[in-house]
Structure 1
Amino acid sequence: MGHTEYQAVDTVAVVTMSSPPASLFNEELSDSLLADVERASDEGKRALILQADGAVFSGGADVSMFRARTISGARELIGRSMPLIAAIEDAPFPVIAAVHGLCLAAGLELALACDLIVAEESARFAQVEAMIGATTFLGGVYRLAERCGPARAREITFGAEQYTAATFERWNIINRVVPDGELREHALGWAQRLAKGPTAAHAVTKRLVRYGLAHGPREADRYLLDAATPLFESHDMQHAVGELLSQGARKFRANHDQLVFENR
């Protein structure tokens, strides 16, 4: 059985997965995570951290779910977790995956749905589905391709090998590597900095990235006219522009941490 713990740290939601002993991904954990992401959105949180307790971030899916499944049963099983992936990607705030230990298979796919990934130096990553004659059932291979290109995505998925955090950072799959023992402090600090920023603009940025990847730059240019231009009428943008013009660029940069964005 898997469950999550939801904690509010000011405007940041911290969601901790718990599915001992190997932090395996299962239907209960998927449902609980989806409820937490939706709760954070309903509560107006401005950033979310996804982390895990125990020795690993995730050992992958609980493969007992895969035994004796028909095609229709498999469609139902996989389809049950797709709303979670969409909810993370569509959340109106930055989502950070904080990874320690092993991050395998479904666990890596879950991290790839997040906007940003920070990992401890000792973390190890893999898409191991090929070992059981499967592929990435939650979209891992094409989300890898978005980050590191199709050739690397195929290499990672075909080979089912484990990779270091340093390698995944070099391949642009994860964003940051931090010393062991500093992960949660770093992730919370990063999330809090993002939460103080223009999260209405961040939400538009997320939509533009997804739209551009799906439809290409030219179509995204047209979409931008509808998605991004409402920011011109937002309090956040007009207030910040006014401060920049009144202070000058150098002073504005120096005082930027004191600028208050209200997400309106």
Structure 2
Amino acid sequence: MGDRVTFQLSGSVAVITLDDPPLNLFGAELMADLAKAVDAALASNCRAAVIAATGQTFSGGANVRIFQGRNADQAREMFATYLPVVHRIEAAPFPFVAAVQGLCLAAGLELALACDMIIAAQGARFSQVEALIGATTFLGGAQRLALRCGDARAREIVYTADVYDAATFERWNIVNRIVPDEILIQEALEFAERLAAGPTRAHAVTKKMLRAFCREGLAAADEVILTDSVMLFESEDMQSGVSRILEQGARNARYGKKTFKGA
């Protein structure tokens, strides 16, 4: 995709990797490469995606040189270019999983928050450091933190610019799961492969329903049931799944390689 971000397909999983070590800093070039990689995933036949990074640091955030000397109009133009990448990840009709190691700061954390789920290495450390330069979260970190951990915790994280370990972020429902550092990518890929083997049409509807809830509340999410969820009745995924339940029982019925966990 470019010098700073790579894209590859691993079976039905798209793997997007920040590849500008040692810090994988965000700037115009990395964002342009990231946009191309996300577009490549959307244009592919993938059923899930992983966003990872090379090196010991997921991302040190933005290269602050891009902020130097800009006025408000120039900043608005810059972020009007960057934010659509975040929005495309969130609107993708398949799950995105962030695999985070080392430091994950500022824009790096905002990228991870755009993903459906975050898998963190035990040694990962997180921070929204923008307050240290008299700024706030320009890629939507504050509000996306609030969706996961509540507005009071989001305020604490953004106001203080403190550094938090993976265990704290898991306890606060920001990180989904923690794995040993040495198997982070393996675990993230296996998890994404599990999602890709599942009912991805249903996952896409679930994602749309939750996005509607986050934007407009329960009523908007309930509307998605009537417009999108009901269409699953006409899908092979759902009809074959119902048949398996009836024929094999819920404990033994399978979708792809995974057993349903219902009673």
Fold-level similarity (TM above 0.5): yes
Instruction: State how far apart, in whole Å, the 2-side matches of 1:86 and 1:33 are.
Output: 13
* C-alpha distance in 2 between matches for 1:163 and 1:122: 11
Number of aligned residue pairs: 258
Map of 1:105-184 to 2, 5 A cutoff?
A: 105-184=106-185
Matching residue's letter, 2:102: G
Separation of aligned partners in 2, 1:187 and 1:22 = 21
Tell me whether 1:35 sits opposite 2:68 in the alignment.
no
**Structure 1: any 5+ residue segments left out of the alignment?**
260-264
Residue 249 of structure 1: how far off its partner (Å):
2.1
In the other structure, the counterpart of 1:48 is 49
Question: What amino acid sits opposite 1:184 in the alignment?
Answer: I
Give the secondary-structure state (helix, strand or coil) at the position aligned to 2:251: helix
Opposite residue 86 of structure 1, the aligned amino acid is H
**Structure 1, residues 120-154: CA drift from partner, whole Å, max 9, x if none?**
11100000000000000000000000000000000
User: Is the 8 Å Cα contact of residues 17 and 51 (structure 1) preserved in structure 2?
Assistant: yes
**Percentage of pairs with the same residue:** 52
Aligned pairs (5 A) from 1:179-194: 179-194=180-195
Tell me by how many angstroms 1:12 deviates.
0.5
Aligned amino acid, residue 36 of structure 1: A
1:2 and 1:17 in contact (8 A); partners too: no
Deviation at 1:40?
1.4
Q: d(CA) in 2 for partners of 1:20 and 1:52? A: 9
The two structures have a TM-score, normalised by structure 2, of 0.95
Contact 2:241 2:255 in 1 (8 A): no
Do 2:24 and 2:57's aligned partners in 1 also have CA atoms closer than 8 Å? Answer: yes
One-letter amino acid of the structure 2 residue matched with residue 110 of structure 1 = L
The corresponding residue for 1:96 is 97
Alignment partners' CA distance in 1, 2:203 and 2:181: 29
**Alpha-carbon shift at residue 49 of structure 1 (Å):** 0.5
Give, as a single letter, the amino acid of the residue that structure 2 aligns with 1:18.
D
Alignment deviations for residues 15-57 of structure 1 (CA, whole Å, 9 cap, x no partner): 1111222110111111211211221121110011000001200
Cα displacement (A) at 1:70: 0.9
Distance (Å, rounded) in 1 between the aligned partners of 2:75 and 2:33: 20
Q: Which residue in 2 is equivalent to 1:262?
A: none
Question: Partner residue of 2:231?
Answer: 230
SS at match of 1:55: coil
| SS in structure 1 at match of 2:93 | coil
Q: What is the CA–CA distance in structure 2 between the aligned matches of 1:214 and 1:202, rounded to whole Å?
A: 18
Mapped to 2, the partners of 1:144 and 1:66 lie a distance apart of: 23
Larger deviation, residues 4-13 vs 130-139 = 4-13
What's the Cα RMSD here?
Answer: 1.5
Report the equivalent of 1:85.
86
Q: CA distance change for structure 1 residues 59 and 78 in 2, over 3 Å: closer, same or farther?
A: same
Local SS of the residue matching 2:123: coil
Q: Distance in 1 between matches of 2:187 and 2:48?
A: 14
Partner of 1:181, secondary structure, is helix
How does 1:181-260 map onto structure 2 within 5 Å? 181-252=182-253, 255-258=254-257
Is the partner of 1:97 in helix, strand or coil? strand
- Please, what TM-score do these two structures have when normalized by structure 1? 0.94
Report the secondary structure of 1:13's partner residue.
strand
* Long gaps (5+) in structure 2: 259-263
Local SS of the residue matching 2:79 = helix
Deviation, structure 1 residue 258: 4.2
